[in-house]
Structure formats: structure tokens, C-alpha cells
């Protein structure tokens, strides 16, 4: 007999089953027998016994608010562009979920769970899933030996591999046209570099300056979202200034 998931039943059906279960409990019927009679899991009977006849209301309670109001969302979003992450965490020049949570707690007195913060970032079109997808596709598309060689060289020569998703025009509803660089490094750390600018080339040059200023390692940069002209302009800049620090600069979306 297929067991019923009591949580999925309408409240009135749950209540009737619970009443019947409690009558059987009064008759000293075991949890296992009650579960068999009612067609539910034995653990469900244990939970009912512990919680009693009351059924918790589903969904948000009347008057209960979201963690962030729309106005607060906009303020936080703008702070991500206005503030330097080093003001919040002196160890890193880029935003991480940890440093964003710290900023929200410090500036707005709100504790935001990591998963909830991720949902807010997605709603603002700052979506870390994009860089993960492009990283996975890039690894699948290139020759296995080439990628293994790339990883081996990075490990042997103490080199960072940074995967960077470039996003333009993040969220017109919450802010102006902006540039966002979503970074996934070879340790799996996700970082954000955000600019109130509609010009990707200028923002990327600033990103390069921050990336290399305090870095003890050299870089392989694999980027998605640049046009051919943007890639060529930035590559010239790298060759001129960062040739010894940035050893590889690849635009994944331009590879055939």
C-alpha cells in the first residue's frame, strides 16, 4: 500500500486523520499499527504525537514582512556599486556573499541567510549560475588534454585560473546601466566586481588593476561576454601593462 504524505493533504483531511490517530493512541494501539491503518508513515504518527492536534499554518503569516523591502533592496543594490568591498572585508577587493552579508548587517541591520541572499542577487540579475554554466561548457568544449595541461601548469607554476562572466545592463528597475564581472576562481570561490558604468572596456581595465595590484600569483583569465572588438582592445592593454602577470586571456564565447 502506497503511503500518504500527510504534509500534502488539505488541512481538514490532516485534522481528521490526526483525530483518528489520537483516538487509536488512547486505545494503546502502537504507532506502527496506526500508521498501517491510516496509510501514512510511522514517522508521521510520531510527529503528530509530538506536535498534538495543532496544524502549522502554511505560508507567510498575516503581517509578516519580507526580509527586505523593495526600497531596502534598491539601497543595498546601489551600495554594492558605491562601496569598496575592502571597507567591509580588508582581505579581498571583490564582493563575496560573505562580505555582502556583512555589509547588509552593518549598514541595514538585517541578517540574511546565504541562500536567501543568493535569491536576491538572482532577482537583481547578478546570477552566479551564469559563470558556472559557461565554465562547465568551456571545459566540455575544449580538448581534454588542453584543459588538463592548463590545470597542471597552473598548479605547477602557482597561477590563478579565473573564470569571468561579463554582464552588461544588470537591472534597470533597481539601478542604472551597469557592468558586472562574476568571477569563479580555481578554488571555487565566487566573487563580484561591480561598476556604475555602461562601458565594459573601462570597467574591465579597472578590474584588471584591482586583480593584479596585490596578487601574489599570476593569472589565466577565461572570459565570457566580450565582443571581438572589446577583447582585442583589452588584450592590447594586457600585453602593454600586464604581460608578465596575465599569461592567458581568452574570450570563451569567441572560440570556434
Kindly state the average pLDDT of the residues 170-191: 80
pLDDT of residue 168: 77
User: In b/e form, how buried is each residue of 123-134, taking b as 16+ CB within 10 angstroms?
Assistant: ebbbbbebbbeb
First to last CA, the chain: 56
Percentage of the residues of the chain whose pLDDT score is greater than 90: 35
Could you identify the residue written with the cell 502549522? 56
pLDDT (0 to 100) of residue 128? 84
> What is d(CA 144, CA 141) in angstroms, rounded to the nearest whole number?
8
Burial degree of 11 (CB within 10 A; 0-12, 13-18, 19+): exposed
| Cα–Cα distance for residue pair 134/145, rounded to 1 Å | 19
pLDDT band, very low/low/confident/very high, at 36 (cuts 50, 70, 90): confident
In this prediction, residue 64 carries a pLDDT of 40
128-254: CATH topology is Nucleotidyltransferase; domain 5 (3.30.420)
pLDDT of residue 200: 92
Q: Where are the beta strands (DSSP E) in 107-244?
A: 159-168, 179-185, 190-195, 218-224
State the pLDDT at residue 184: 92
pLDDT at site 61:
45
pTM recorded for the entire structure? 0.70
What's the rounded mean pLDDT across residues 83-95? 90
At residue 169, the pLDDT reads: 63
Residue 59 binned pLDDT confidence (cut-offs 50, 70, 90): very low
Other C-beta atoms within 10 Å of 98: how many?
14
Amino acid at each position: 500500500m502506497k503511503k500518504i504524505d500527510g504534509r500534502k493533504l488539505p488541512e481538514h483531511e490532516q485534522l481528521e486523520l490526526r483525530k483518528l490517530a489520537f483516538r487509536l493512541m488512547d486505545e494503546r494501539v502502537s504507532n506502527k499499527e496506526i500508521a498501517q491503518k491510516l496509510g501514512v508513515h510511522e514517522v508521521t504518527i510520531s510527529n503528530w504525537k509530538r506536535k498534538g492536534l495543532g496544524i502549522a499554518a502554511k505560508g507567510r503569516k498575516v503581517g509578516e514582512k519580507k526580509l527586505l523591502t523593495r526600497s531596502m533592496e534598491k539601497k543595498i543594490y546601489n551600495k554594492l556599486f558605491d562601496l569598496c568591498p575592502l571597507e567591509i572585508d580588508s582581505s579581498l577587493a571583490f564582493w563575496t556573499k560573505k562580505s555582502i552579508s556583512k555589509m547588509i548587517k552593518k549598514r541595514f541591520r538585517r541578517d540574511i541567510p546565504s541562500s536567501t541572499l543568493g535569491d536576491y542577487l538572482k532577482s537583481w540579475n547578478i546570477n552566479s549560475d551564469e559563470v558556472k554554466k559557461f565554465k562547465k561548457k568551456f571545459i566540455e568544449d575544449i580538448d581534454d588534454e588542453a584543459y588538463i595541461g592548463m590545470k597542471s601548469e597552473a598548479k605547477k607554476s602557482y597561477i590563478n585560473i579565473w573564470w569571468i562572466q561579463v554582464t552588461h545592463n544588470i537591472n534597470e528597475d533597481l539601478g542604472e546601466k551597469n557592468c558586472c564581472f562574476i568571477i569563479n576562481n580555481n578554488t571555487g570561490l565566487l566573487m563580484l566586481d561591480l561598476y556604475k558604468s555602461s562601458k565594459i572596456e573601462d570597467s574591465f581595465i579597472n578590474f584588471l588593476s584591482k586583480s593584479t595590484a596585490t596578487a601574489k600569483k599570476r593569472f589565466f583569465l577565461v572570459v565570457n561576454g566580450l565582443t571581438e572588438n572589446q577583447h582585442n582592445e583589452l588584450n592590447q592593454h594586457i600585453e602593454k601593462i600586464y604581460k608578465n602577470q596575465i599569461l592567458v586571456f581568452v574570450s570563451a564565447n569567441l572560440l570556434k
